Structure 1
Amino acid sequence: MKIKIGIIGCLGKMGKAIIQEVVAHDKTEIVAAVARSNIGEDYRGVKITDSISDAFKISDIVIDFTVRESMIECLDAAVEFKKPLVSGTTGIEDMDLYKYSSKVPILWSANMSVGVNILLKLVKEAAELLGGEYDVEIWEMHHNLKKDSPSGTAIELGKTIAETLKIDFCINRQFPTIRQKGNIGFAVSRGGGVIGDHNVMFVNSDERVELSHKVINREVFAKGAVKAAIWLYENKRNSPGLYSMQEVI
């Protein structure tokens, strides 16, 4: 029996890539596709709907890659219908996901790429080894249509380092005079069709250690999202909680 998956935002770049991956995978099938346009049209064997609730009713698990407002609807529907949710929607850093995940399984990650989640592990290890003796700078670049800044991935990298170093996390984009010790700096670039580049630098007066990740193909996020959905359904569908790609890999 295949896992029945519903996709929210099915006509977006990520939505289309995820559906392609769901259809191709031998463990999954697409049963619901939600969008704001082309309602009623057939897409990859299912009719497009604008009802998030209907998608949750007929799906075993739902994948959401949309915007904050749609994600809130997804969270409410997940609780109502007791269905697990996988989401890669960013710009929700101030949202309390725990009030939803206490009732249903939710897997949220700012980046579904396996490589980026390995980068998070490497960054944590680097921070542990280097301690607080190095200044930390995080640079990211994305396409010119990306709305949130810094990216959710950059913020996750910063939070991981801050937690490891036991310092308060805040987003510092520039320094008024000289650089304050213990601050994590962020630099952001936007241009063209760049899918996603992230670079973490640990710098002192003698050397610079850099860890980086560059996305070559957007399909890497789709593959990660489907991998996450299969993991969450097979392992945690009856266990409410907030999960991440760190547990999947």
Structure 2
Amino acid sequence: MRIAIAGANGRMGRMLVEAVLESADLELVAALGISGSPEVGQDAGTFLGRDTGVKITDDLEALARAECLIDFTRPEGTLAHLQACVRLGVKCVIGTTGFDTAGKHAIQEASRHIAIVFAPNMSVGVNAVLKLLGMAARLLESGYDVEVFEAHHRNKVDAPSGTALAMGEAVASAWGKNLEDIADWARHGHTGVRQDGHIGFSVARGGDLVGDHTVYFCGTGERIEITHRAGSRATYAQGSLRAARYLARKEKGLFDMQDVLAI
């Protein structure tokens, strides 16, 4: 399968480039970078000391060589890439987070023409945790307070993380509720007592943390914690490759990692 990588000169992009190069069944055919960045024009494998024959480019027409784009950039960049994918008939794996309602709608519309996997976290472990959270939430709906904590590196620009939101949504869905109606996004000052049936969120940003997430179910006399800690972006890269392989069998439609993993 012929693969293009967006943000190929970034941390996640480089991890994706390396993962594709090490894969026996995937071929790197295009690497996109931000216009004006010094890496544009360089070989995509320069950081590995390898000559891949694929130059980092800001020309979206390079996507015409690919069957699937993997994109972990920023919402505005991803949406521009997505338009090109629709025009060129290229499938898309989207791991970008921080989309507003309009952005999510644009992805939904694009899926009428091409096949897309869109997920806030491509990690197999995180998606197993999302399944566990639904089970726990149904068992612990009465008498337990739910809090979601997440921590990421200092350069992450959206909060709470897409994964934290997905965790909150897994709990809310198991309760038959809309997350927006029961989420407490911040606490400051005299907040009063905690409301029953609400889900609290707290966020930490610092250093080079890859990503820590914990959901607390706090009851009387006990506390259940479901935690996922990422020590490397490699787990996201490998999950993304699984998503790309899944799309090889799809012509159009919108899918997530639960579909990819058949859970």
TM-score category, normalised to shorter length:
over 0.9
Q: Counterpart in 2 of 1:174? A: 187
The residue number in structure 1 matching 2:42 is 41
Tell me, yes or no, if the aligned pair for 2:17 and 2:44 is still in contact at 8 Å: no
Match of 1:150 among 154, 160, 167: 160
Provide structure 2 residue ranges, at least 5 long, that are not aligned to the other structure: 46-51
Partner Cα distance (1:93, 1:153) in 2:
15
Count of equivalent residues: 243
What does the per-residue CA deviation read over 1:65-89, in whole Å, with 9 as the maximum and x for residues that have no partner?
1001111112211211122100100
Deviation sequence 1:40-80 (CA, Å, 0-9, x none): 2222320111022x132110111111001111112211211
Q: Report % sequence identity.
A: 40
Give me the TM-score of the superposition, normalised by structure 1.
0.94
Q: Where does residue 28 of structure 1 map in the other structure? A: 26
SS at match of 1:131: coil
Partner of residue 222, structure 1: 237
Correspondences of 1:96-175 after superposition (within 5 Å): 96=105, 97-170=107-180, 171-172=183-184, 173-174=186-187
Bigger Cα displacement from structure 2, 88-97 vs 169-178: 169-178
CA distance in 1, matches of 2:109, 2:153: 33
**What amino acid is the match of 2:11?**
K
Q: Is 1:247 paired with 2:259?
A: yes
1:198 equivalenced with 2:208 (yes/no): no
Q: Secondary structure at the match of 1:86?
A: strand
Q: Name the amino acid aligned to 2:214.
A: N
Conserved in 2, the CA contact under 8 Å of 1:167 and 1:182?
A: no
Helix, strand or coil: the match of 1:43?
coil
Separation (CA, whole Å) in 2 of partners of 1:152 and 1:144: 16
- Amino acid of the structure 2 residue aligned with 1:174: R
Deviation at 1:93, TM superposition (A): 4.6
Deviations 1:192-248, CA, capped at 9 Å, x for gaps:
111000000111223111100001111111111111111112x21x1x211111111
For the residues of structure 2 that align with 1:55 and 1:174, how far apart are their CA atoms? 47
Matched position secondary structure for 2:55: strand
Q: How does 1:84-99 map to 2 (within 5 A)?
A: 84-94=91-101, 95-96=104-105, 97-99=107-109
CA distance in 2, matches of 1:168, 1:220: 30
Closer, same or farther: CA 218–18 of 1 in aligned 2, 3 Å: same
The residue type paired with residue 17 of structure 1 is: M
Query: Displacement, 1:131?
Result: 2.2
3-state DSSP class of the match of 2:246?
helix
1:70 aligns with: 77
SS in 1 for 2:239: helix
Give the equivalent residue in structure 1 for 2:199. 184
Tell me the amino acid that sits aligned with residue 224 of structure 2.
V
Gaps of 5+ in 1: none
4+ residue runs of structure 1 moved beyond 3 angstroms?
none
1:33 and 1:168 map into 2 onto residues whose CA distance is: 39
SS in 1 for 2:254: strand
Which amino acid is 1:49 matched to?
A: T
Structure 1 residue aligned with 2:48: none
Aligned partners of 2:95 and 2:118 also within 8 Å:
yes
Q: Please give the alpha-carbon distance, in whole angstroms, between the structure 1 residues aligned to 2:236 and 2:220.
A: 37
CA contact (8 A) 2:143 2:220 kept: no
SS at match of 1:33: strand
2:15 is matched with which residue?
A: 17
